[in-house]
Amino acid sequence: MVMDFVDIKKALKAAADQMDHKTLLPRNTDSVKVMQTEREVEVLTCGKRYVFPKEDVLILDVDITTAEEMSRLIARDLISSVILPKNVKRLWIGLDEERGQTAWYSEQL
C-alpha cells in the first residue's frame, strides 16, 4: 500500500464540493471582466453581460476554466493539503468532461 486513501478522498471531495453546481470564473484573464457586489457577480466577456447570484459563483486563480486547468488546480491543492509519503514521486489527476474525454494533469513531486 502506498498510503491510506482516506486523506486523498477527503481532499478530493472538498475540491469537488467547492466547485459543484457553481459557475466557475477565471480571475487571471483580461478577456473576462468580473465585478462583485455584496449579492451579485457581474461578468463582461465577448461583448455580453452576465449576472449571477454571488453564492452560485466560484472565482478561481486561473487564466481559463478548462478541464485541464481544473485538474491542475485540484492537483496543486491536493499537494498542498495532503501529506504524501516520500515514496510518492508523481501525482496524476484526471478530470472527466464527459465519458471518454478526460483531461489529465501530472506533477513531479
* Superfamily in which the 5-108 domain is placed by CATH: 6-pyruvoyl tetrahydropterin synthase/QueD (3.30.479.10)
Q: What is the pLDDT of residues 13-32, one digit of tens each?
A: 999 999 999 999 999 999 99
The pLDDT, as a whole number, for residue 1 is 55
Percent of the chain with pLDDT over 70: 99
Average pLDDT over residues 28-41: 95
Q: What whole-number distance in Å separates Cα of residue 36 and Cα of residue 95?
A: 29
Judge whether residue 74 has pLDDT over 80.
yes
Q: Give residue limits of the domains in the chain.
A: 5-108
* Contact (Cβ atoms closer than 8 angstroms) between residue 52 and residue 23: yes
Nearest Cα neighbor of 37 from 25, 55, 61, 60 is 55
